[in-house]
A = this chain, B = another copy of it.
């Protein structure tokens, strides 16, 4: 059987290597998660189990891809930041986004029983994309954009579900009530009508989750010429629910943006 006469079809594959020296962000997004969360009775406005599962999957991905220095997640999305100088898969966009999306999804189904008592009813999926950011500022602005999105959606959802669950409004009525309101209006409704101080809610819901890869001080360095390779540095993952828009965060983890290019 002549294999060779068909092999020309490989020429139709196109090179999609990403520009060097740019931050490489892969974001995965749940597909039709409105329906999925309904089918699995996620708690509204936030289901802690679902958010924890998301972060569990993100850690799996970061365990596999050591060039990811930071990830940020909220709702049904997670963003993974590969270092500017990463050469993983030769920076091929297809490989990067499909591998990350696939592994994230796989972990989601795999770890589901650790977070939810009931069986999963059907397999969910996450799409993915890869975006390049040339400068530190662009990257920080990207992450700020996602965290601002988290805030805006969570504030809306918190008021909306308060109106529905405690206020006796129908979803339609709640929607109308909130149309055109500002952030301050929503905070006021929460406080006046439901006695909720938004800022006291869990930062998991308000800020999302950032996972940082930190170098581990090498305490266990072998005393007498052990084999410890200098190449593979020890790192650990630290998960937090903090503000990443302000400079404080970046000042606290200066190695993240340690841009020497």
Residues of A within 8 A of B (CB): 1-3, 5-15, 17, 19-22, 28, 31, 60, 93-95, 97-99, 101-111, 120, 122-135, 137-138, 141-142, 144-145, 148-149, 151-152, 183, 245, 261
The complex places the Cα of A119 from the Cα of B172 at a distance, in Å, of: 45
State which of B6, B94, B141, B151 has its C-beta within 8 Å of the C-beta of A130: B94
With a CB–CB cut-off of 8 A, which chain B residues contact A141? 5-6, 8-9
**Residue picked from A9, A129, A133, most chain B C-beta under 10 Å:** A9
> Which residues of chain B are near A60, meaning CB under 8 Å?
123
> Which residues in B have their C-beta under 8 angstroms from that of A20?
11-12, 134
Task: Report which of B9, B133, B134, B148 forms a contact with A145, defined as CB distance below 8 A.
Answer: B9
Residue of B nearest to A25 (CB): B12
Chain A contact residues: helix, strand, loop or mixed: helix
Cβ of B95 and Cβ of A127 under 8 Å apart? yes
A60–B108 alpha-carbon span in the complex (Å): 17
Residues of B contacting A105 in the complex (Cβ-Cβ under 8 angstroms): 102-103, 105-106
The CA of A245 and the CA of B93, in the complex, are separated in Å by: 31
Copies of the protein in its oligomer: 4
- Is B12 within 8 A of A131, CB to CB? yes
Which residue in B6, B128, B135, B148 is a CB contact (below 8 Å) of A148? B6
A15–B97 CA distance with the chains assembled, in angstroms: 15
Q: Which residues of chain B come closer than 8 Å to A122, judged between CB atoms?
A: 110
Q: Are B101 and A1 in contact (CB under 8 A)?
A: no
Do A123 and B145 touch across chains, with their CB atoms under 8 A apart?
A: no
On whether the beta carbons of A123 and B106 are closer than 8 Å, the reply is: yes
- A–B pairs, 30, beta carbons within 8 Å: A1-B245, A2-B148, A3-B148, A3-B149, A5-B141, A6-B144, A6-B145, A9-B131, A9-B133, A9-B145, A12-B21, A12-B131, A12-B132, A12-B133, A14-B15, A14-B131, A19-B22, A19-B134, A22-B22, A94-B127, A94-B130, A97-B97, A98-B126, A98-B129, A102-B126, A102-B128, A103-B125, A109-B110, A110-B123, A135-B135
Q: Which B residues are in CB contact (< 8 Å) with A11?
A: 20
Known: A14-B19, A15-B17. 14 other contacts (CB 8 A): A1-B151, A1-B183, A9-B133, A9-B141, A12-B132, A14-B17, A22-B22, A93-B94, A99-B127, A101-B101, A102-B128, A106-B109, A134-B134, A134-B261
